[in-house]
Amino acid sequence: MTKSTLSPLSAQAAQADHHETPSAYRDLALKSRREIHSLKRLVSRFIATCTGKNTLVDQKLTEFRDVLYSAQDVSALLPRLAVIERMVGHQDMTQKKALSHLDEQFHTSGETLQRVTGLPAQLKRDLRDLLAQPMSSDTERTQHLIKLLQLYERAVTLQVARPRAQHAQVELDKDQIRRVADELQNLITELDIDGQAGDKLLEIRRQLLTDVSPTSVVSLTLTSLRLILEATQAERHASQQFLSQVNDDLVSISQQNTRAYDHASQLRMAHQSVDQRLERTITDIEHEISLQSAPAADPEAALIRALDELKVIAQENEALKNREQALEEQLAHNQNQLSTLAEQTMDQRRHVGDQERKRLLDPLTRVYNRAALNDRLEHEYRLWKKYHREFCLAVIDIDHFKQVNQQFGYEVGDKALKVIARSIYQCLRDTDFIARFGGEEFVILLPDANDDTRTDILANISQTIRKLPLKFKNERVSITASIGATLFKDQDTPKPVLARADQALYQAKNSGRNQIIWC
Question: Mean pLDDT for each 10-residue chunk of the chain (519 residues)?
Answer: 44 47 67 66 62 54 54 49 54 68 77 75 79 74 78 75 50 65 73 75 77 77 82 75 74 74 76 78 72 60 74 79 79 78 74 68 88 92 92 95 82 88 95 91 95 95 91 81 95 93 94 93
Are 324 and 382 found together in one domain? no
**Which residue, 330, 359, 388, sits at the end of a domain?**
359
pLDDT of residue 273: 79
Residues 471, 473, 478, 484, Cα dihedral to 10°: -90
pLDDT of residue 423: 95
Number of folded domains that form the chain? 2
Neighbours of 241 (CB within 10 A): 12
279 a catalytic residue: no
- DSSP conformation class of 194: -
Residues 391 and 499 in one domain: yes
Residue 391 CA to residue 22 CA, distance in Å, equals 70
Rounded distance between C-alpha atoms, residue 358 and residue 368, angstroms: 9
Q: In angstroms, rounded to a whole number, what is the distance separating the alpha carbons of residues 479 and 428?
A: 20
Q: Tell me how far CA of residue 488 lies from CA of 200, 448, 517, in angstroms.
A: 42, 11, 15
Residue 108 and residue 77 in one domain? yes
- Residue 168 placed within a domain: no
Flag whether 209 is in a domain. Answer: yes
Same domain, 321 and 425: no
Q: 249 and 383: one domain?
A: no
* 444 and 336 fall within a common domain: no
295 assigned to some structural domain:
no
- Domain CATH code at residue 489: 3.30.70.270
Residue 59 sits in the same domain as residue 204: yes
Provide the domain limits for residue 374.
370-518
- Say whether both 233 and 343 belong to one domain: yes
Question: Which one of 293, 327, 359 terminates a domain?
Answer: 359
Do residue 411 and residue 355 come from a single domain? no
Residue 158 in domain: no
Any domain includes 63: yes
pTM for the structure as a whole: 0.45
Q: Do 41 and 190 belong together in one domain?
A: yes
451 and 481 in a single domain? The answer is yes
* Annotated catalytic residue, options 35, 288, 440, 441: 440
SS3 content of the chain, % helix, strand, coil (to 5): 75, 5, 20
Tell me, yes or no, whether 152 lies in a domain.
no
pLDDT at site 81: 52
The set of residues, in sequence order, having a beta carbon less than 8 Å from that of 437 and lying 6+ positions away, is 370, 373, 395, 443
- Report how far residue 456's alpha carbon sits from residue 440's, in angstroms, rounded to the nearest whole number: 22
* Angle in degrees, CA 181, 182, 187, rounded to 5: 100
Q: End-to-end distance of the chain based on CA atoms, in angstroms?
A: 118
Residue 351 domain-assigned? yes
> What pLDDT is stored for residue 3 in this prediction?
43
Last residue of a domain, one of 359, 393, 415: 359
202 with 234, same domain: the answer is yes
- Within-domain flag for 72: yes
- Sign of the dihedral through C-alpha 425, 431, 437, 442: negative
